[in-house]
Structure 1
Amino acid sequence: MQWADFLANQAATHSLSPEQTAAFVERLKTENSGKSEAKVARELNIGAAAFKKRMTEVYDKFAQSYPELAASKSRGRLEKLRACLTRKYNGGQDAHPTIKEIHHNIPPAVPFEKFVGREAELQNLHQQLQTSRQVAIVAVAGMGGVGKTELATQYAKQHLQNYQGGVCWLSAQGIDVGIQILIFAQLEFKLIAPDDWELADRLRYCWQNWQQGEVLLVFDDVTDYKTQVQPYLPPELPRFKVLLTTRLGFDRTLPQLRLDVLKPLAAMKLLKSLVDRERLKSEPWAAREICKFLGYLPLALELVGRYLSTEEMQDLSLEKLLKRLEKKRLEHEAVAKANPLMRYEYGVAEAIALSWKQLDEKAQGLGCWLSLYALADIPFSVEWIKDDDAQEFWEKAIAQLQKLHLIQWQSKGIYRLHPLIRQFFQMKLDELSEADEVKTAFAAKMVKLAKQIPQQPNRKDIFNLNPFIPHIAEVAIYLSQYLSDEDLIWSFTGLGRFYEGQGLYQQAEPWLQQCVEKAKNRLGLEHRYVAASLNNLALLYESTGRYSQAEPLYQQVLELTKRLVGNNHRDFADGINSLAGLYNSTGRYSEAEPLYLQALALRKRLLGDNHPDVATSLNNLAAVYSSTRRYSEAELLFQQALELRKRLLGDNHPYVADSLNNLALVYESTECYSKAEPLYQQALELTKRLLGDNHPHVAQTMNNLARLYKSTGRYSEAEPLHLQALAICEQTLGVGHPNTIMVRGNYARFLREAYR
């Protein structure tokens, strides 16, 4: 037994925690005997004080076995402990009489200090195995390369002394498992059953005569429980424990420890154990991004770590390797083939392929389809499928992928793909002759969802559509070439609407800018989609107070629309309306009014009197009248717009809240406060309910209601509304936005009047 293995066994025997074990093993390693405590602490990436505390706890636990430690001063305890353990290791009088008599065939394992990020799993595994009175079968399941076999190996080595009856390691993919058990019993215990007995009888003889003490049997890489494990289970006696490693998922009747990828910090720690620490410190961002790109998969991390540590790669920057990985993905040599020094014989793609081969055609097809989704939660429910046979078809495909841990169940109808599995599925998709058709169908499905995003999404819209947003974005960025010309701009437009409708203008802007570029590049400058995308971008500029950027775009849109469809078209009416809105926002009312009148007349002629666009025109024209103090005209049009919107859109719509707010503003301006207040309150309640508490439209209505309270001398009610409105504007619009400046000015006037 190696000294490091002996130390790990002693740690388990004395019930050290994972943290205490790490400190104990590192401190007692032979090569660290001359190092200071502070230096050893640095190698463990912990502070000197934390290391000292852990070692004090270690000494206290070992003092129960070695009383001389309790009498030693702190400075001499390390050498006293080292001496006691050395005697025990060399078979001295206080050595455990069976320490070298435990029979096992555990395969080699990585050094204990390089086995990182699995402390909790090791502890959990031991608890599960020890608490079962019957045969404890714990399936250490998970995708290929997650470290199932290594966890089982480390557990067996670290807890060897718990199994005085021996540890028998069985390869489910090797020769018949029953024969392996007979060979182990013969070699280790000299148990030889007559050759003419049946295999079951020979196994029964071995179990009956097996060495005393608890026994651990490890069935590694199980792919068929019924044939590889069930016939060879030992008697149902508490001393026999059974551990499985498998890619499969079993039902809940079988206790399981599900092994996931490493946490980000543990992934970095694994990389640090393989790559020069200073090299990682010089490029911390690239190191973190490599871990993230590899999905924190232990196999991939070890492959890349060993690749970087080769002599010919000493000068390769981490950033350059990251770019190469992103370009070549699973085909890059850093992850494609197993390192000769590693126990694992597969590269990442080969490891995943072992599970892929067990899938039937429908499950493979579903895996390819799911790979087109973004690296985010995937909403994939089969409940909408009405045909029961078709629904069952897809349910079975999902079940296969889950059973082999190729997809991860998050919640009902929601799944996730590991980044490297997703890459593997994409590679398999690209090998298919119908790959383009599959991508085209997927892109069309996402665009259909994007088209459902309204111009002003409410909270319900946002909640329902939010799960699909990353996948619509995936199509916009990577699959737009599979969109038809008719669908080209919709993924970008939908994303812009989704964010802009929430007041998230910074997130909306890049999508709307890309929309303009995509439309121009594919469709040419003279196309109605170019006009539409320019108009959407101009609207955003106007919403964020960048009027000088918005105006030339609106003018381009109007000119382009006139050339394409003439001046007697709905699109032309929209263009006129948009330009008039900018003039209204910048106080150019004499320029806004004729355009609004023109847009209203054109919309009525083209759409009839009962249309939401007509209501919008009435509302906009009324806003000009209100700004120019023509309140009686404004009141009449606002009332018409409100009535029309309620009739066409229902009472619960953001545009209805907008009309309520505007009508209240007229009443406030004419000092009809008793009429204005309930309308402001209705508008505020409706806007909050539809758009959320922190939307710029909510801030606008709060500001108006606060101003009304100030006008009626209700300062205690006005001040909190002023403060909330200002906070929302500064957060969503920024401190320099015209609306923020206006709200801040109103608050300043309130303070001067209320506290003079």
Structure 2
Amino acid sequence: MQWDEFLRQEAATHELSPEQTAAFLVRFQAENSGESEQEIANLLKIELSAFKKRMSPVYSKFAESCPELAKRQRRKFETLKAYLTAKYNGVDDTQPKKEIQHNIPPAVPWERFVGREAELQQLHEMIQQTQQVAIVAVAGMGGVGKTELATQYAQQNLQNYPGGVCWLSAQGIDVGIQILRFAKDKFKFIEPDDRELVDRVKLCWDRWDAGDVLLVFDDVTDYKTQVKPYLPANSSKFKVLLTTRLGFDRTLPQLSLGVLKPLAAMKLLKSLVGRDRLKNKPLVAIKICKFLGYLPLALELVGRYLDTIPDLSLKTLLKRLKKKRLEHKAMAKANPLMRYEYGVAEAFDLSWEQLDENAQGLGCCLSLYALADIPFNVEAIEDDELQEIWETAIADLLKLHLLQRQSQGIYRLHPLIRQYFQMKLDESSEADEAKTVFATQMVKVTEQISQQPTLNLIQQLTPLIPHLAEATNYLTAFIRDEDLIRVFTGLGWFYQGQGLYKQAEPWLSQCLELIKHRLSAEHLDFASSLNNLAGLYHVTGRYSEAKPLYQQGLELRQRLLGAEHPHVGISLNNLAGLYCTTGRHSEA
């Protein structure tokens, strides 16, 4: 009997409707076994939702003869396929099955393992195609969920590995010893004591139980010493799965694991805190997820913390997180009930310790930039030796995924990584120097901004504006007195020159107040600040607000410079222009 004929017979036996039979036959045809549900729906020329609606009763009807289907919420296709395959091959499914040996650690409940369905499917496909797969975090930080993804995969696919699943911690005792202990405990393997460890492991592989085997090397930091010596020579039945913070070259297939999508992050937080509590303040909950950069570890830490303090408002917690950041107790220590033993900063420490001094210094310097794309073109550095130092530092940060490359010469930091680097910078003795250098660089940017910037200049400077704003907001203490007016006015003119008056006004207003308090109301820069803000009010029709500022600036310049100074002439001209605009020609 052919497979297709067998499927039709099964459809009839289980009394599937014509629509259900069509979906069932196409889904389980041999050539379609690797296709996704969306691709099957496309073959049937129906919507994905319609396909799922047809298949749901199919699984229910087969559950009577395949009880395993009733137990599963996910991966029903694989379960039913295994059942049908066994029946087609004449295997008596009622016979007791051989116990599959494994030491997979406990996984989090399904309701808290969210937003990774696509990655699980992709991982399964990659493992079927090759013998070695590395899960690598795009953000590269501990807590992005590499280990949990591997655990969930191993548990859900245990039936695919009758030869066993051997979980190995690369940070524990020697991996070779762990392998021998597993074989001795599960298979009663007796190791010879007259051979080297690597040779004993090789002999262990040769005598391993029959059937496909999954080996998981968790938290690999040195592939050459922790993994390579112990890889089975006969890889046909062994599948190797790595979790690591490192980035390997393209010769090793990798699944890059990033942070959660915003909706998945909210779902995770909801599973920990409760729907009703988040429902009352959904916008604040969204802000908390964004502040945490959608990092699973941070979300779980904060969620569990909220759960222990039921009367703590989300708004209050967000305020405290912004103030104390990684040092807040919600993120500083792991909850005893959690599988992961580190707080967020402790998890980052593991990567920080692998960086040399140059890479650490570069990370700290980059943390002074805003949370936006960072233009950092090392090719512009004229000193070849210095250029190579920075190239290596960038490569090291990228390798550990502490830095994200957006495009050529453009990089970005994850929000919590940025906070971590800022914390490390403030702990160092070179913090003031680094902040002064960064502030000076931003001052040089403002030197290019005129009161009427050209379109080309606007396009050229736009990527730098968030970083200029960051320096102006938080690093004015490191900007020289004579440059203070320049950074605020530069930002004001950048927006005013584009007709973006609402964006320009805060910068010109802040400039006036800061100059007054830092340099005094008798300083010439204060007069210029009065004139600049009055000019904005003038062009936006706020004449009654512009006039007193023009007059105050004129009087201050006359007193400080004398009546014959050109700057006094400018103030006179500006005030006269205002009078003309308002029809007071005789005064003008």
Tell me, yes or no, whether TM beats 0.5. Answer: yes
Contact 1:168 1:181 in 2 (8 A): yes
CA–CA separation in structure 2 for the residues paired with 1:140 and 1:477: 36
Contact 1:18 1:120 in 2 (8 A): no
CA–CA separation in structure 2 for the residues paired with 1:152 and 1:99: 25
TM-score norm. by structure 1 comes to 0.67
Pair 1:332 & 2:334 matched? no
Alignment-derived partner of residue 230 in structure 1: 228
Alignment-derived partner of residue 7 in structure 2: none
**Letter of the 2:348 counterpart:** I
Tell me the CA shift for residue 460 of structure 1. Answer: 1.2
Alignment-derived partner of residue 168 in structure 1: 166
Pair 1:405 & 2:401 matched? yes
Structure 1, residues 531-579: CA drift from partner, whole Å, max 9, x if none?
1111111111112111221122111111111112122223222212222
| Match 1:380 to one of 368, 376, 381 | 376
| Match 1:343 to one of 339, 342, 347 | 339
Pair 1:361 & 2:357 matched? yes
CA–CA separation in structure 2 for the residues paired with 1:469 and 1:574: 29
| Match 1:220 to one of 218, 221, 229 | 218
Contact 1:18 1:119 in 2 (8 A): no
Structure 1, residues 121-159: CA drift from partner, whole Å, max 9, x if none?
111111111122xx2232333211111101111111111
Tell me the CA shift for residue 489 of structure 1. Answer: 1.8
CA–CA separation in structure 2 for the residues paired with 1:158 and 1:419: 33
**Letter of the 1:139 counterpart:** I
Secondary structure, in 3 states, of the residue corresponding to 1:496?
Answer: helix
Alignment-derived partner of residue 558 in structure 1: 554
Alignment-derived partner of residue 43 in structure 2: none
The within-5 A match list for 1:105-184 is 105-132=103-130, 135-141=131-137, 142-184=140-182
**Letter of the 2:367 counterpart:** S
| Match 1:319 to one of 315, 318, 321 | 315
Secondary structure, in 3 states, of the residue corresponding to 1:137?
Answer: strand
Alignment-derived partner of residue 521 in structure 2: 525
| Match 1:496 to one of 472, 492, 498 | 492
Contact 2:134 2:244 in 1 (8 A): no
Tell me the CA shift for residue 197 of structure 1. Answer: 2.3
Contact 2:334 2:343 in 1 (8 A): yes
TM-score norm. by structure 2 comes to 0.85
Structure 1, residues 26-73: CA drift from partner, whole Å, max 9, x if none?
xxxxxxxxxxxxxxxxxxxxxxx999974642332565686799xxxx
Tell me the CA shift for residue 99 of structure 1. Answer: 5.4
Tell me the CA shift for residue 199 of structure 1. Answer: 2.4
Tell me the CA shift for residue 336 of structure 1. Answer: 0.4
Q: Which has the higher contact order (CA 8 A, sep 6+)?
A: 2
Tell me the CA shift for residue 513 of structure 1. Answer: 0.9
CA–CA separation in structure 2 for the residues paired with 1:458 and 1:273: 52
Alignment-derived partner of residue 694 in structure 1: none
Note closer, same or farther for the CA distance 1:219–1:558 as it changes in structure 2 (3 Å cut): same
Alignment-derived partner of residue 3 in structure 2: none
**Letter of the 1:418 counterpart:** H
**Letter of the 1:106 counterpart:** I
Contact 2:554 2:571 in 1 (8 A): yes
**Letter of the 2:214 counterpart:** L
Secondary structure, in 3 states, of the residue corresponding to 2:290?
Answer: helix
CA–CA separation in structure 1 for the residues paired with 2:96 and 2:171: 32
Richer in helix (by share)? 1
Tell me the CA shift for residue 591 of structure 1. Answer: 4.0
Pair 1:293 & 2:279 matched? no
CA–CA separation in structure 1 for the residues paired with 2:49 and 2:331: 35
Pair 1:270 & 2:275 matched? no
| Match 2:458 to one of 452, 462, 468 | 462
**Percent identity for Structure 1 against Structure 2:** 67
Contact 2:164 2:212 in 1 (8 A): yes
Structure 1, residues 198-230: CA drift from partner, whole Å, max 9, x if none?
323322222222222222111100000110111
CA RMSD of superposed structures (Å): 2.7
**Letter of the 1:413 counterpart:** G
CA–CA separation in structure 1 for the residues paired with 2:490 and 2:311: 45
Contact 1:99 1:161 in 2 (8 A): no
Structure 2: gaps (5+ residues)? 1-26, 39-46, 68-72, 84-90
Contact 1:139 1:254 in 2 (8 A): no
Tell me the CA shift for residue 441 of structure 1. Answer: 1.7
Pair 1:60 & 2:58 matched? yes
Secondary structure, in 3 states, of the residue corresponding to 1:306?
Answer: helix
| Match 1:486 to one of 469, 474, 482 | 482
CA–CA separation in structure 2 for the residues paired with 1:51 and 1:560: 73
The within-5 A match list for 1:305-704 is 305-310=303-308, 313-592=309-588
Structure 1, residues 290-330: CA drift from partner, whole Å, max 9, x if none?
111111111010001111111xx111111111111111111
Structure 1, residues 465-503: CA drift from partner, whole Å, max 9, x if none?
111111111111111122111111222111111111111
**Letter of the 2:252 counterpart:** L
Contact 1:16 1:58 in 2 (8 A): no
Paired positions, count: 531
